[in-house]
């Protein structure tokens, strides 16, 4: 990349290698944020690699993804630190950097773009190369890659990458009121929080006798009541837990509630991340729909949902395991519905989300225990 003159945009300028070196040396790291859109190559000191799964990238390209998904420090243009962008070098990487530049411009963020290649930067200033430990050379490209996919790796340590434990999918819902809990996903499936789970009047009002508790520390409020059925999925809201391993049992549990003409509440602490992930997996499995369509359906019910970014990566892997193509919303079978969002809506309106032949049914083990826990 050749050095160019500053852009005519008042919010954008180009930065030379010398200028970037001076910023890193002289400024406190809290005063700037260095975003690296390259998927491979040497890591730059203090840079954050920006890797987005397809469901987030499409929203970024459409201008509907909040910049807090890229960094929590990008709350608004007036309080944001100095933004420095390292453009992507491949076609796919360039789509991310181009989308970020467009979003920065549209939202009046001041930012700079490195006008030289990283190779040129590190040749001039080798001290800016991030030191790597031999044991940390291979790091997943993004949370969308499964643990068994070793083909997509990039050089460099996890230090300086997106904080998957705190990053959340937060679309722009300004002006859209937040629904009150419990949120009806379907006539037999409700999304809730800790308060919902301990409110007996609410549970009785919605005929909820099945509860999935997706926390490691909240008690099952009415576990001694023989009319109540509980399934605990003991996970915390961070990147160290894999919710995918619990999808089958959770889907079976929800199906048991449906078949018994009851209703199931899925809750975590706040009702925006772990419990949402379980509901999304259920919709994807039983309606053979893409993650994006399932997410849009749930979001239309409750504008405040914010799944942990790491869980979104797991859902993307789950989507692939179901044979979905999120980019175009296609299905593995020619007999499957061609409009997944309509399929969910039609099923919910009819009061029935009918599972396909390959989906899970209620397990005998679940039926014989009033409460079951996973750790």
Quote the radius of gyration of the chain (alpha carbons, Å): 23
**pLDDT given at position 178:** 59
The one catalytic residue in 37, 131, 264, 268 is 268
Here the tokens at position 42 are 């040497």
Least confident of 100-109, 128-137, 184-193, 279-288: 128-137
Here the tokens at position 54 are 């397809």
Residue 342 annotated as catalytic: no
Residues contacting residue 349 through CB under 8 Å, at least 6 positions apart: none
How far is the C-alpha of 90 from the C-alpha of 92, rounded, in Å? 6
Q: Does the fold of domain 183-374 match that of domain 12-127+136-155?
A: no
Average pLDDT over residues 225-236: 96
For residue 343, name the pLDDT band (cuts at 50, 70, 90): low
For residue range 62-105, list pLDDT tens digits in order: 887 778 777 778 888 999 999 999 998 888 888 889 999 999 99
H/E element holding 153?
strand 153-155
Which overall architecture, per CATH, does domain 12-127+136-155 show? 3-Layer(aba) Sandwich (3.40)
For residue range 185-225, list pLDDT tens digits in order: 999 999 999 999 999 999 999 999 999 999 999 999 999 99
Residues contacting residue 203 through CB under 8 Å, at least 6 positions apart: 196, 197, 209, 211, 222, 265
Concatenate the DSSP letters of all residues of 107-118 into one string: TT--EEEE-S-H
Domain boundaries, the chain: 12-127+136-155, 183-374
The count of other CB atoms within 10 Å of the CB of residue 10 is 8
Return the residue matching tokens 């729909």.
289
More confidently predicted of 364 and 38: 38
Q: Looking at the whole model, is its pTM more than 0.85?
A: no
Average pLDDT over residues 4-23: 73
Q: Which of 213, 202, 230, 184 is nearest to 275 (CA)?
A: 213
Is the domain 183-374 a CATH 3.90.190.10 member?
yes
More confidently predicted of 56 and 273: 273
């Amino acid at each position: 990349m050749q050095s160019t003159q500053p852009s005519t945009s008042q919010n954008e300028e180009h930065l030379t290698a010398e200028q970037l070196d001076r910023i890193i040396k002289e400024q406190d790291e809290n005063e700037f944020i260095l975003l690296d859109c390259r998927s491979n190559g040497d890591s730059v000191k203090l840079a954050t690699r920006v890797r987005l799964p397809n469901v987030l990238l499409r929203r970024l390209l459409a201008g509907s993804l909040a910049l807090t998904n890229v960094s929590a420090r990008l709350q608004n243009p007036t309080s944001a630190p100095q933004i420095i962008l390292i453009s992507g070098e491949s076609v796919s990487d360039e789509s991310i950097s181009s989308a970020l530049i467009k979003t920065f411009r549209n939202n009046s963020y001041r930012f700079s773009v490195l006008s030289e290649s990283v190779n040129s930067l590190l040749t001039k200033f080798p001290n800016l190369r991030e030191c790597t430990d031999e044991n940390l050379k291979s790091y997943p490209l993004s949370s969308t890659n499964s643990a068994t996919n070793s083909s997509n790796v990039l050089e460099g340590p996890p230090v300086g990458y997106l904080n998957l434990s705190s990053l959340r999918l937060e679309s722009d819902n300004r002006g859209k009121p937040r629904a009150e809990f419990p949120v009806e996903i379907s006539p037999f499936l409700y999304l809730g929080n800790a308060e919902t789970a301990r409110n007996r009047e609410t549970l009785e009002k919605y005929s909820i006798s099945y509860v999935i508790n997706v926390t490691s520390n909240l008690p099952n409020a009415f576990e001694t009541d023989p009319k109540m059925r509980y399934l605990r999925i003991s996970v915390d809201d961070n990147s160290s837990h894999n919710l995918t391993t619990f999808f089958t049992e959770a889907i079976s549990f929800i199906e048991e509630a449906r078949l018994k003409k009851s209703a199931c509440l899925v809750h975590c602490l706040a009702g925006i991340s772990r419990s949402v992930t379980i509901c999304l997996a259920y919709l994807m499995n039983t309606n053979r729909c893409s993650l994006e369509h399932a997410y849009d359906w749930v979001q239309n019910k409750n504008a405040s949902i914010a799944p942990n970014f790491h869980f979104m990566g797991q859902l993307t892997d789950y989507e692939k395991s179901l044979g979905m193509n999120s980019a175009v919303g296609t299905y593995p079978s020619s007999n499957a519905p061609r409009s997944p969002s309509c399929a969910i809506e039609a099923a919910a309106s009819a009061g029935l989300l009918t599972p396909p032949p390959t989906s899970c049914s209620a397990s005998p083990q679940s039926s014989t225990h009033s409460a079951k826990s996973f750790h």
